[in-house]
């Protein structure tokens, strides 16, 4: 997986993404919003905002910032901002989730839906989520992780060599990601079709990690 492969994959998907993935992933997006303790005026960053399918779901009194590496996907998101009159969406920018330009402690919540198996370096992206989020703020991740079912797990492993073509890793293990990144998981919930995806709501524990070092 590399950034160029991801950009090319989502450039191909931009015009059809909503049709093929909108309904499938919608329950996961709703679960994110329903499980956030958002207050009026909160600042929220969505990493990998894509075509902006989640933008209309957020409360209108929360300030939304969205980034993605795919300009064609962001063009679709900007269309939704206009068509849905989303004045609370403050920006939709091309930016790499692993190295954003935001200052430390910029956001109350950072969301990465269907992102960590897409970026070249998942641990680096989660570190960046921590950096830009306020201490004790929230990191919310929605993703598919490697299935413990022997049949599905074998299929996912077989698809691993196609990662660069399909634009995501089908074989990342949840427990490995949590162990590698020291995520402080407060809530874990199965979402979407057959519970095949997982939502992780995590407290931003960067101060605790810093004190250990």
Q: For the segment 72-114, what is each residue's pLDDT rounded down to a tens digit?
A: 999 999 999 999 999 999 999 999 999 999 999 999 999 999 8
Residue 210 covered by a domain: no
Query: In terms of Cα–Cα distance, which of 141, 187, 142, 138 is closest to 37?
Result: 138
Residue 212 covered by a domain: no
Residue-wise DSSP of 176-205: HHHHHHT-EEEEEEEESGGG-EEEEEEE--
pLDDT value at position 22? 87
pLDDT digits (tens, 9 = 90+) for 20-45: 888 888 999 999 999 998 999 999 99
**CATH of residue 169:** 3.40.50.150
pLDDT digits (tens, 9 = 90+) for 167-210: 455 567 889 999 999 999 999 999 887 667 899 999 999 999 99
Q: Please tell me the total count of domains within the chain.
A: 1
Which pair of tokens denotes residue 72? 């064609």
Q: Which of 13-22, 62-71, 130-139, 183-192 has the lowest mean pLDDT?
A: 13-22
pLDDT value at position 1? 57
Distance, in Å, from the CA atom of 189 to the CA atom of 33, rounded to the nearest integer, reads 13
Distance, in Å, from the CA atom of 99 to the CA atom of 106, rounded to the nearest integer, reads 14
Task: Give residue 82's Cα distance to chain centre.
Answer: 22
* 3 backbone φψ class: left, alpha, beta (φ>0; ψ -120 to 50): alpha
pLDDT value at position 162? 39
Residue 181 covered by a domain: yes
Distance, in Å, from the CA atom of 11 to the CA atom of 167, rounded to the nearest integer, reads 10
Q: What pTM does this model have? A: 0.86
Structural domain boundaries enclosing 17: 3-204
């Amino acid at each position: 997986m590399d950034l160029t492969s991801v950009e090319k994959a989502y450039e191909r998907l931009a015009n059809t993404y909503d049709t093929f993935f909108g309904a499938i992933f919608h329950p996961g997006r709703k679960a994110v919003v329903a499980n956030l303790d958002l207050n009026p005026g909160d600042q929220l960053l969505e990493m990998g905002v894509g075509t902006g399918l989640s933008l209309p779901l957020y409360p209108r009194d929360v300030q939304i910032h969205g980034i993605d590496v795919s300009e064609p996907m962001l063009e679709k998101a900007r269309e939704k901002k206009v068509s849905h009159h989303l004045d609370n969406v403050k920006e939709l920018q091309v930016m790499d989730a692993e190295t954003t330009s935001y200052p430390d402690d910029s956001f109350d919540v950072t969301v990465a839906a269907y992102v960590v198996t897409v970026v070249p370096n998942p641990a680096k992206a989660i570190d960046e989520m921590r950096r830009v989020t306020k201490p004790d703020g929230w990191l919310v991740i929605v993703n598919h992780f490697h299935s413990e079912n022997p049949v599905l797990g074998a299929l996912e492993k077989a698809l691993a060599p196609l990662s660069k073509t399909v634009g995501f890793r089908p074989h990342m293990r949840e427990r490995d990601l949590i162990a590698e990144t020291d995520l402080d998981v407060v809530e874990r919930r199965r979402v979407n079709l057959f519970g095949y995806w997982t939502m992780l709501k995590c407290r931003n524990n960067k101060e605790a990690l810093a004190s250990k070092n």
